[in-house]
């Protein structure tokens, strides 16, 4: 029962981050921007992020199950989650792609650290973060392209 409650907590934390990010919709400002090559269609973001958020929650939960006292790894997980949520506010809310680029690069570093630390504790937890890290890397390219093409 304790494991199930913990999983629900991880899912709730990730859901709160997702809901916060969803508060900032792309809108007409984003639609008017010149897009970089490889920019995917808007419909792809929802399904991709749904899978990634689920993987984030399960990854954190797996580490907690193996090492509930893993303060540093779980703090890194929380930090990447906060950075993830904050990016949408900077990019879509404030229309600041340059500031959002700095933030997403920091997110990539924190996420990479989280992935490595999680990998050492539970290989499956680390593997679950690999697609997320790849997507954040791709999103960094998109963010940089949007900033560069629309300065």
Domain coverage including residue 74: 2-149
Residue ranges of the chain whose pLDDT lies below 50: none
Q: Pick from 10, 105, 120, 114: which is nearest to 67 by CA?
A: 120
pLDDT at 112: 98
Number of domains in the chain: 1
DSSP summary character for residue 96: -
What lies within 8 Å, CB to CB, of 125 at 6+ separation is 58, 59, 60, 62, 63, 66, 118, 119
Give the pLDDT confidence score for residue 68 in this predicted structure. 87
| Residues belonging to the chain | 151
Rounded to a whole number of angstroms, the distance between the first and last alpha carbons of the chain is 53
In which region does residue 54 sit, left (phi positive, over 0), alpha (psi from -120 to 50) or beta (all else)?
A: alpha
Q: What pLDDT score was predicted for residue 53? A: 98
Return the pLDDT at 9.
97
- In percent, the amount of the chain with pLDDT more than 90 equals 92
Determine the Cα–Cα distance for residues 37 and 85; give it in Å rounded to an integer.
Answer: 25
CATH of the domain at 133: 1.20.1260.100
- Return the pLDDT at 134: 98
Per-residue confidence (pLDDT) for residue 38, from 0 to 100: 96
Report the mean per-residue pLDDT for the chain.
96
Going by the DSSP 8-state scheme, the letter that residue 94 receives in this structure is S
Q: Quick check: helix, strand or coil at residue 40?
A: coil
H-run or E-run covering 29: helix 27-31
CA dist 83 and 69 (Å) reads 23
The predicted pLDDT at position 83 comes to 98
């Amino acid at each position: 029962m304790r494991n199930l409650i913990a999983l629900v907590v991880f899912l709730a934390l990730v859901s709160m981050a997702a809901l916060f990010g969803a508060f900032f919709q792309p809108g007409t400002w984003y639609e008017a921007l010149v897009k970089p090559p490889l920019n995917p269609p808007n419909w792809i973001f929802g399904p991709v992020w749904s899978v990634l958020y689920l993987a984030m929650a399960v990854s954190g939960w797996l580490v907690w199950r193996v090492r509930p006292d893993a303060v540093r790894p779980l703090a890194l997980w929380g930090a990447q989650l906060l950075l993830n949520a904050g990016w949408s506010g900077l990019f879509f809310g404030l229309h600041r792609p340059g500031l959002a680029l700095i933030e997403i690069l920091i997110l990539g570093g924190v996420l990479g650290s989280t992935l490595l630390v999680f990998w050492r504790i539970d290989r499956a937890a680390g593997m679950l973060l690999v697609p997320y890290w790849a997507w954040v890397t791709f999103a960094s390219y998109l963010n940089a392209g949007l900033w560069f093409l629309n300065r």
